[in-house]
Structure 1
Amino acid sequence: MSHQALLAEDINLLTEKRYTKEKKLGEGTYAVVYLGHDTKTNLKVAIKKIKLGNMKNGLDISAIREVKALKDLDHPNVIKLLDVYSHKKNLNLVIEYLETDLELIIKDKNLVFITADIKSWMFMTLKGLHHCHQSWILHRDLKPNNLLISTTGQLKLADFGLARDFGDASLPMTSETVTSSIDMWAVGCIFAELMLRTPYLPGDSDVDQLQTIFRALGTPTDEEWPEMSKLPNFIEFNKFPKANFAELFTAADSYALDLLAKMLTYNPNKRISAQEALAHPYFSNFPRPTSHEKLPKISKLIVETEAQQDERKRKLAQAFVNSSLDESPGPAKKLVF
């Protein structure tokens, strides 16, 4: 064994010894997440163990993408990758540990949101996403339980298991990948969920998902999305009228409704970008976003049963575990937004 190989092995061993695994938080098909402890800083960490032994062809491409994405990103609103080490046939990602996520906050009926709170969570989400897109990285799995919240209220984008690099938006890509606009559609759904306190546009299959979207937003037309009929596996759907957001989002002002409409624009070429969204009047007009330190937090007075505690841990672990690292999709029968 070469001197360089010995040196790398020693560094790996020292890194492994620095962290202790205390208890399992959750498990997916290819990964297990543990609550860990950094013996050097005395801080809690999350350790995501990717079980490479189950993969016939070595390291899964999703694991490579996740490590690369997290190493390339450095922003207050993006989760930090602290270390990486291998043990036997497993790759361990050491990630900063955050105790809750936006989904749990949305579902906590003891919390009351005001416009300024929603504005703050949206602003932090967009700042983190803008950094990803500036770094030529698509997240592709944005949802409330992948937006983690620190003890100080800072929101951070997490779970980059489906992330990938992208380049020139004019170059052809698969229908499952598209461009950075796919992330903005997801942010629009998160925005709507924050205002409604319930998931927006839920579907239980590809076709049902599209029917739900079209009923809520209206069926897209060739006039607003000329390239639509040329998409792979395009199929015709029933015609539903265009939505009036003001009827559903009754507490939203005109700026919020305009931003939401720009995020949920069917034509990805006309959809607002993260950078444009950050400059939208919604954020500069009254009320100003709540400072993250003053945002609503999960109530400490709630006494949870053991089953509820397990469910909370499972939900949090989903932000770290990608339970389906094999992202090879079947034949697509959908429009990709």
Structure 2
Amino acid sequence: MAELDPSKKVADRYLKREVLGEGTYGVVYKAIDTQTGQTVAIKKIRLGKQKEGVNFTALREIKLLKELKDPNIIELIDAFPHKGNLHLVFEFMETDLEAVIRDRNIFLSPGDIKSYLQMTLKGLAVCHKKWVLHRDMKPNNLLIGSNGQLKLADFGLARIFGSPDRRFTHQGSSDIDQLGKIFAAFGTPSPAQWPDMVYLPDYVEYQHVPAPPLRSLFPMASDDALDLLSKMFTYDPNARISAQQALEHRYFSSAPLPTVPEKLPRPAPKKESKASDVDSQDGPTVLSPPRKSRRIMPGRDGFEGNSLQEDKFDDNAGNFRQTVADNTGKNGPAPMSLDFSLFGLKPPNRPTITSADRSHLKRKLDLEFGNQND
């Protein structure tokens, strides 16, 4: 009897459950690891046609998460290709910080807030120690497990800091809106506050907006909290407090102490789909929400639409899978399924902001803040 394709063996290992979300790059499923009984999340990423090349966002996320092992960073369990798609297997997380914030039945005490902030900073401190910039910090990328532990997730935009000639791409059409919100909250930075600002490659001079008192933005915050926030929100990176320094701030040692994660309030768990509602032959399951994920709520019409159905795994994916040698020794993590020689490839260069874009940005900002001051 012929030996089964190793890629199919991996695919058959996971029993797919319900869809958790759909994003730009693919679909996220909940799944069961039939070998361990562990619930996992599987992000299925569409790699596109051959002429479109490799999805470097997905490969970058895999590479970075293999280096970032910490209780406050999401664990990437495995990665394997199948039928032109890449599947990332993550530990399953019950919810995220955005759901906690939006739940009107949840009241966050000062100790709860302090706990969530502390766990976020712990994850960030590990990233920065490894010279990794997350670059997409927001509540729905801060996942929360059943034990209350908060973990940083979605490293698709993350970059290694300090590489020679490294250029970072812009985030898109929302840059102006983001700058407007930052300036409205903290005022526009001046050369006196940030001397090196005028030497930035895409520097734009914009209309001055005074900073409102920090207390007006956070009226219920303690003096220690405001002091920490003022140090974290400093424009000049040379003067700004680091993540590790923030963790050592007196805010975290003063009363009330951070709430123990297991005691943090969380949204009520969603109703679990019955096994009979899921085709056990339909394939695997997925974890952390993909970028720009659209949350799909239980009971919604079209929840199991055809566009979200996972193809059944077959025996044709064996040529994609190669086992990577584990250099950590016998007690280290299990090797992953993906051939990391792909990281030797370089993505195409992306355009940077032009002088025309810079002029357009300045006009938009002057118009926005000019209207606010009228």
**TM-score band, normalised by the shorter chain?**
0.7 to 0.9
Three-state SS of the structure 2 residue aligned to 1:53 is coil
Query: After the TM superposition, which parts of structure 1 deviate over 6 Å for at least 4 consecutive aligned residues?
Result: 324-327
On the 8 A contact 1:113/1:296 being kept in 2, the answer is: yes
Three-state SS of the structure 1 residue aligned to 2:259 is coil
Using the alignment, how far apart are the partners of 1:258 and 1:217 within structure 2? 14
Give the Å deviation of 1:327. Answer: 10
Q: Quick one: structure 1 residues 208 and 327, their matched pair in 2 at CA, closer, same or farther if it must change by over 3 Å?
A: farther
On the 8 A contact 1:263/1:271 being kept in 2, the answer is: yes
Using the alignment, how far apart are the partners of 1:105 and 1:128 within structure 2? 19
Give the Å deviation of 1:174. Answer: 2.7
1:278 paired with 2:271, answer no
User: 1:213 matched to which residue of 2?
Assistant: 182
Q: Quick one: structure 1 residues 237 and 243, their matched pair in 2 at CA, closer, same or farther if it must change by over 3 Å?
A: same
**Aligned match for 1:224, one of 193, 204, 212:** 193
Give the Å deviation of 1:205. Answer: 3.6
Q: Quick one: structure 1 residues 299 and 327, their matched pair in 2 at CA, closer, same or farther if it must change by over 3 Å?
A: farther
User: 1:194 matched to which residue of 2?
Assistant: none
Instruction: Tell me how large the CA RMSD over aligned residues is.
Output: 3.0
Give the Å deviation of 1:109. Answer: 1.1
Give 1 or 2: higher helix fraction: 1
- Per-residue displacement from partner, 1:285-320 (whole Å, max 9, x unpaired)? 1111000011111146x99xxxxxxxxxxxxx9952
User: 1:51 matched to which residue of 2?
Assistant: 46
Three-state SS of the structure 2 residue aligned to 1:227 is helix
Give the Å deviation of 1:268. Answer: 1.7
Using the alignment, how far apart are the partners of 1:219 and 1:45 within structure 2? 44
**Structure 2: gaps spanning 5 or more residues:** 272-285, 294-346, 363-374
Q: Quick one: structure 1 residues 173 and 154, their matched pair in 2 at CA, closer, same or farther if it must change by over 3 Å?
A: same
In the TM superposition, 1:98-247 aligns within 5 A as 98-167=93-162, 173-174=166-167, 176=169, 205-247=174-216
- Per-residue displacement from partner, 1:200-239 (whole Å, max 9, x unpaired)? xxxx843333233222211111011111122233222221
- Per-residue displacement from partner, 1:99-128 (whole Å, max 9, x unpaired)? 110000001111111111001001111111
1:13 paired with 2:8, answer yes
Give the Å deviation of 1:329. Answer: 6.5
1:295 paired with 2:288, answer no
Using the alignment, how far apart are the partners of 2:119 and 2:50 within structure 1? 36
Using the alignment, how far apart are the partners of 1:275 and 1:285 within structure 2? 17
Using the alignment, how far apart are the partners of 1:28 and 1:248 within structure 2? 32
On the 8 A contact 1:31/1:322 being kept in 2, the answer is: no
On the 8 A contact 1:79/1:158 being kept in 2, the answer is: yes
On the 8 A contact 1:111/1:299 being kept in 2, the answer is: no
User: 1:67 matched to which residue of 2?
Assistant: 62
**Structure 1: gaps spanning 5 or more residues:** 1-5, 178-203, 304-316
Amino acid corresponding to residue 106 of structure 1 in structure 2: I
Using the alignment, how far apart are the partners of 2:348 and 2:152 within structure 1? 21
Amino acid corresponding to residue 167 of structure 2 in structure 1: T
Q: Quick one: structure 1 residues 135 and 233, their matched pair in 2 at CA, closer, same or farther if it must change by over 3 Å?
A: closer
Instruction: With the length of structure 1 as denominator, give the TM-score of the two structures.
Output: 0.77
